[in-house]
Structure formats: structure tokens, C-alpha cells
Structure 1
């Protein structure tokens, strides 16, 4: 029988778990903030497309520049920004809508990434970039996480009012002189930076889960933006730390473990939220149904 100390404290005696914890905390803060923006602006699926489009940049950087974190970061950042800019140009210059442009480019970029990896054969093994590997989090990775998190927090502090207005009422924001297109592109750049920083711990496939799932869960509990941001960041932090512990004890990929923990909280929120949960909705529908049945003619 394991003690609480052995379950919750002892794993963090290892240096790799300490680095993983630091990365989880940094990414939890920035991911919780970014996720709320993506959910409110209905960009969650576009964020997923951006995440998958990072793969060819990683593969190309690995083959040309080597396996250093800085090289992989540069390659992934280039690919993510290229996909974002490309989708914007396609939307601006053709009749294709933004989500369709993202979807098309995501498929092309992801296919190119798989082609690069398969062509390289045994020279390149990017499985931990696909699924996450807390054992591989290095000091350089932590610096990337710290830079992405600091940039995200600073952006929220400096542009909070603009971000809120553009998210809830983009027409009014533009009418008052706001640069909606520039702000929209800035959000995509922040998303790309955070996704790249999360690659080592979370993986390309699951990195966006640390951003979207806490925000969606928090969205079920409150209508106030300040509370929404706090709940999203809190859920991301707790889910990341608990996910790391589950990964350590069970022996599964850290990215998958974190997303599964966050997914469990989302299910609880979807079912039990006192205002927007399924149970509350069913009770309300049942009461309204009885009211209709008992209304006198």
C-alpha cells in the first residue's frame, strides 16, 4: 500500500519530473489563457489544424539542422506561421472560408510531415514529438516554455481590453478603430508559440488539449470572463500536474495522461455543472414539460 508521500511527493524527487513539473506549470498558465481566447473566438478547430501543421517544420529542421531544441523550435514555428499566413491569404484572395482554408492546409502540411519522417527512415524518430515525453524535457525546453508563457501573460496584461472587445463584439471593436485583423493574427502567433513550446512534454497531437479542454470545461461553469480565465488556468495547472503523476506511476505518455485527466474533468463539468450541465438541463426540460402538461385549457 503506497503512502500519500510516495504517490504525490516522491516522484518529484527526480530531476526529470521536476523539469516536467516546471514545464506543466508554465504551459498550464499560458494554455489556460490562450484556450479561453480560442474557445470564445470559435478558433478551437483552427488551433488543432495549426498544431498538426507543425510536423513538417519539425521534420525538415531535424534533417537539415539537427535535433537541437532551438532548431526544432525554429522549424515548427516557421511551419505554424506559414500555415497561418497561408490560410489568411487564401481566405482574403479567394472565396474559401477561413476554417476550410485551415483544414485544407492542415491536411497538406500533416501529409508533408509524415512524408518527411517516412523518407528519413531510421535517421529520425519523432514519436515523442507526436505523443509527448516528459522524460525528454530539457533545460532548453523549459526556457522555451518560460518565454511562451511570459509572452502570453504580457500580451493579456497589455491588450486585455482589446482582446475582450474583439472576442465578444468584433464589429464594434473595428468600428472604434481597433485593428481586428492584426489582433487576430497575433492570437494565432501566440497559439503557435505555445504549441511549439509544448511539443516535448505534450506532443503535436495532444498539445492543444492542454489549451482547449480546460477552457471548454470552465466555460460550463461561469459567464464572467475573469472567473472563466481563472478556472481555465486552474484546471490546466491541476490537470497537468495530476497527469504527470499518472504518467509516472502508470507508465504512459505524458501528453496522453494529461489530456485524459483533463478529459475526466470535462466530463464531470458537462454532466454536473449547476447551470449548464446535462443534469441541470434535463431537470429543467422535465419541469417545463410538467408545466405544459398541467397548464389548464
Structure 2
């Protein structure tokens, strides 16, 4: 029994690339889900996906100038993401269009521009690497960068936590305290961009948002309290990242999709069986009046 446990759960991490991959996944699992919870509470779940595509042109430019240099690609991604967020906010203020509509427009432009740049400067393999990532290819430099970015995100969220919560629940009160809503909103979007930049090396620009949103939306079916949402989301993200790596190792599956699909399976099961807002909870609410009527 112990030999089977060792072979299934411990032996894969005898390899250095697996150890680096699991540490990178755990680091992202600490920073991404809390941001996903705030995006969900703000009704901005799809904004995360738009921002994930917004970093692509900057990543592509970094690739064109320096090849697979993660620091240069990350710097380009941060600049590109912040630029798109700023442009979307400016267009929304100047024209009166909803910010999500402006963001969707810019993310489509960014996606097309990024794919074009990578295709002009590299091969289909390079494009696949940028779009879908490769967590098993994380080296020491990438791991240090991911750890530094996720640590900065967690620290910034801890400092801004009260303001982020108040802005979600009562933005007028925050304005009354002399704090500009736009400032908090802009800083929050900057944290989202930093997280997506940290995650593109492991999951690619197309799936980096998965580890942010899927655990957060899964937690919604199990808790109604903010601390519960964040705790469950972080734990499920860690389980998904580690479990997805183990599945990819034993079944020879691509690692990034394995992680996201495992997180997605948790979401589907939670939607069916969770304590709140799930199909099971809805059926129980419908059955409760009938049971009371029979008892009477």
C-alpha cells in the first residue's frame, strides 16, 4: 500500500522539473483565486479573460526582441495589460460606453495583434508555447519571477483588503472616506494584470485566467462568507494544480489543460452538489414545503 502511495503521489516529484512545476502552481494558487473572488463579486468575471488576452501583444514583443526571455516577456505583458486597461477605461469615460464593452473590443484587437506578432517572429511551436504555456518547462529563473510576482500580489491585496471589500459592497462609503473609487479599481486591475503575467509561463495567455476564476466560482457553491470563498478557492486551486500535474505525469497528458480541466470538474460537481445555489440545494428547497405540508 505504501509503495503504491509512493509511486502515485511522491515518485513523480523525484524529478526537478516536477518539483519546480508544483511550486509554481502552488504560488499561483495563493494569489490568483482571491483576485478571482473579487472579480466575481464585482460582476467582472469575464474581464479576467479579456485581460489575459490583453497581455499577449506585450509578451509577443518581448519574445521578438529577446526570444524566450521570461523577464522581458513578463515586462512586455505588464505594460501591454496596463495599457489596454487604461485605454478601455478612457474610452468608457469619454464615450459613455460600458467598460466591459470597451475591454472586450480591446482584448480582441490585442489577441489578433499578439498572434500576428508571434507568428511573424517565430514558429507554430513558439505560438503554442505562448498561448498555452508549459508549466513543466518552468526553470529556476521563471520560478523566482513567479514567486516574486505572486508574493507582491498577496502583500498588495493584504494592504488593500478593506478598500477592496468596501468598494465591492458600498463604493459610496469609500468615496465618503476621501478614497477615489477609480484609484482602487485601477490598482485592482493592475494586480490582475500582474497575476496573469505570472501565470502565462505556466498556463499560457489563454488559460492563465482559469486558475483565477474556476476555483473562485467553485467556492461560491460552498460558502456565502468572503473568508470562506477565498479559503475554499485557494485550497481547490492548490488541489487542482497539484492533481493536474500528477494526472499529466501518469497519463501522459498535457499539464496545463489537465490542471484547468480538474478545476473545471470541481466546478461542475459543485454546481450539482454544493451547499448553496446548486442543483441539490434548489431541489431541497422545493422539497421542504412539501414535507412540511405532509407533516401538517
Give the TM bin, normalised by the shorter chain.
Answer: over 0.9
> For the Cα contact (< 8 Å) 2:214–2:267, is it kept in 1?
yes
Which runs of no fewer than 5 residues in structure 2 stay unpaired?
none
> For the Cα contact (< 8 Å) 1:201–1:254, is it kept in 2?
no
The alpha-carbon deviation at position 177 of structure 1 amounts to 1.9
Aligned to 1:183: 184
- TM-score, normalised with respect to structure 2: 0.93
| Alpha carbons of structure 1 residues 196 and 293: separation in structure 2 relative to 1, 3 Å | same
Residue by residue, what CA displacement relative to the aligned partner does 1:8-60 show, whole Å, maximum 9, x if unpaired? 11010000001001101100000122111111112211110010122211111
Distance between the aligned counterparts of 1:292 and 1:123, measured in 2? 63
Which residues of 2 match residues 105-116 of structure 1 at below 5 A? Answer: 105-116=106-117
Residue by residue, what CA displacement relative to the aligned partner does 1:227-265 show, whole Å, maximum 9, x if unpaired? 211111111111111111112122222221111111111
Distance between the aligned counterparts of 2:44 and 2:159, measured in 1? 22
Runs of 4+ in 1 over 4 A off after TM superposition: 290-294
| Alpha carbons of structure 1 residues 226 and 262: separation in structure 2 relative to 1, 3 Å | same
> For the Cα contact (< 8 Å) 2:62–2:72, is it kept in 1?
yes
Aligned to 2:121: 120
Q: How many corresponding residue pairs?
A: 294
Aligned to 1:58: 59
> For the Cα contact (< 8 Å) 1:117–1:124, is it kept in 2?
no
The alpha-carbon deviation at position 67 of structure 1 amounts to 2.0
Which residues of 2 match residues 274-293 of structure 1 at below 5 A? Answer: 274-288=275-289, 290=290
Distance between the aligned counterparts of 2:125 and 2:215, measured in 1? 33
The alpha-carbon deviation at position 63 of structure 1 amounts to 1.1
Distance between the aligned counterparts of 1:27 and 1:48, measured in 2? 16
Which residues of 2 match residues 1-297 of structure 1 at below 5 A? Answer: 3-122=4-123, 125-288=126-289, 290=290
Q: How much is the aligned-residue C-alpha RMSD, in angstroms?
A: 2.1
Q: Secondary structure at the match of 2:205?
A: coil
